[in-house]
Amino acid sequence: MEVAGALQLGELAAAFAALPVFPLFDTAYFIVSVLYLKYEPGAVEMSRKSPFASWLCAMLHCFGSYILADLLLGEPPIDYFSNNSSVILATAVWYLIFFCPMNLFYKCVSFLPMKLIFVAMKEVVRVRKIAAGVHHAHHRYHHGWFIMMATGWVKGSGVALMSNFEQLLRGVWKPETNEILHMSFPTKASLYGTILFTLQQTHWLPISEANLIFFFTMFMIVCKVFMTATHSHASPFAPVESFICPVFFGSVSSGHTSHHHDQHGASHEVSHPPPPPAKSKEELNEGTRKRKAKKAE
């Protein structure tokens, strides 16, 4: 018997999973996505100098996960742009956030209580996208576990994974901000979530898809709302990762660090040899006499 059934949450979870995300939840998703774009340095100036480039960046923030998932599955990457209603809605959100008179729309949606509501609604869409990505990949590759996980992961965090390409559209190149090297909480949560949905889809996890959507969405809402309200960047997974990762993957060895430091110090010494010893007063006088004698000759 499932835990959800024992708690009589099955009907609630089923109703929640059947809740349509368009247009209400999608609007919240677009608002938060474009807000994050406006927070980027130089984004406002770019919208004045090149509105088309700003619009392209906004579309990547709103639909980047669909584009990346289509590329993985060998489908047309612009296929989702045939959904005219979503594109028009995202364009309207972009225009209001960047160009609304007196910045009224931006001030309203960035007001913290309103923003928290939109953040919670965005997580509803994120979890649905993860579940849909895994389900889509399972339909095409019935035994391809890693394909399911990759598709669900990019569906949940494709915007972050495409951040370097989006930066190029804004004229910025920051390879050190690669999301693979420095995963944010949404990217990690999407990865862990897609593993759960893959196990559920392949019947290794004894829980219905509706219940998993409900519980994982509640987890994401609580974490993201708390992190946004407190302006925290600390990952809730950090305590578990700090315990598990050294066990399975080891930790940075102090000997390796000192060895690297020694090599760096040695190369530094080679490239910068010590200065020659200072000449004595007698040697300086002798050199002066020789130069005078040579000049006289």
281-296 pLDDT, tens digit each: 444 455 554 454 444 4
Task: List CB contacts of 128: < 8 A, sequence separation 6 or more.
Answer: 21, 213
Contact of 161 with 180, CB cutoff 8 Å: yes
Residue 7's pLDDT band, with cuts at 50, 70 and 90, is: low
Does pLDDT of 267 surpass 90?
Answer: no
Domain coordinates in residue numbering, the chain:
1-249
Contact of 235 with 188, CB cutoff 8 Å: yes
Q: What is the value of pTM for the model shown?
A: 0.80
pLDDT, tens digit, 9 for 90 and up, residues 88-145:
999 999 999 999 999 999 999 999 999 999 999 999 999 999 999 999 999 999 889 9
Residue 70's pLDDT band, with cuts at 50, 70 and 90, is: very high
pLDDT, position 293:
45
Q: In whole angstroms, what is the distance from residue 44 CA to residue 143 CA?
A: 46
pLDDT, tens digit, 9 for 90 and up, residues 182-192:
899 999 999 99
For residues 73, 74, 75, 80, the Cα torsion angle rounded to the nearest 10 degrees is 50
Does pLDDT of 254 surpass 80?
Answer: no
Alpha helix segments (H runs only) across the chain: 3-6, 10-17, 24-39, 43-49, 51-72, 84-99, 104-109, 112-140, 145-161, 163-169, 185-201, 209-230, 238-249, 254-271, 281-296
Q: Which residue has the higher pLDDT, 280 or 81?
A: 81
DSSP per-residue string spanning 37-81: HHHSTTHHHHHHH-HHHHHHHHHHHHHHHHHHHHHHTTS-TTGGG
